[in-house]
A and B are shown apart, each in its own frame.
Chain A
Amino acid sequence: GNSVTQMEGPVTLSEEAFLTINCTYTATGYPSLFWYVQYPGEGLQLLLKATKADDKGSNKGFEATYRKETTSFHLEKGSVQVSDSAVYFCALDGHYTGANSKLTFGKGITLSVRP
Chain B
Amino acid sequence: KAGVTQTPRYLIKTRGQQVTLSCSPISGHRSVSWYQQTPGQGLQFLFEYFSETQRNKGNFPGRFSGRQFSNSRSEMNVSTLELGDSALYLCASSLQRGLYEQYFGPGTRLTVT
Which A residues have a C-beta under 8 Å from some C-beta of B? 32, 36, 41-46, 49, 51, 89, 91, 93, 95-96, 100-108
Docked CA distance A46–B26 (Å): 15
The chain A residue with its CB closest to the CB of B31 is A101
Measured between beta carbons, the chain A residues less than 8 angstroms from B104 are 36, 43-45
Docked CA distance A113–B104 (Å): 25
Pairs of residues from A and B, 5 with the lowest C-beta to C-beta distance, nearest first: A43-B104, A105-B43, A44-B104, A100-B56, A101-B97
Measured between beta carbons, the chain A residues less than 8 angstroms from B105 are 43
B48-A100 in contact (CB<8A)? yes
Measured between beta carbons, the chain A residues less than 8 angstroms from B63 are none
The chain B residue with its CB closest to the CB of A43 is B104
A108-B99 in contact (CB<8A)? no
A95-B98 in contact (CB<8A)? yes
CB distance from B110 to the nearest CB of A (A): 14
Tell me whether B24 is interfacial, beta carbon within 8 Å. no
B42-A42 in contact (CB<8A)? no
Measured between beta carbons, the chain A residues less than 8 angstroms from B103 are 46
The chain B residue with its CB closest to the CB of A44 is B104
- 10 A-B contacts, Cβ less than 8 Å apart? A43-B106, A51-B99, A101-B56, A102-B56, A103-B35, A103-B45, A103-B92, A104-B45, A106-B42, A107-B42
Docked CA distance A18–B45 (Å): 32
CB contact between B102 and one of A46, A89, A104 (< 8 Å): that residue = A46
B101-A89 in contact (CB<8A)? no
Tell me whether B33 is interfacial, beta carbon within 8 Å. yes
Docked CA distance A96–B99 (Å): 9
On whether A101 and B55 interact (CB within 8 A), knowing A43-B105, A45-B104, A93-B99, the answer reads yes
A101-B101 in contact (CB<8A)? no
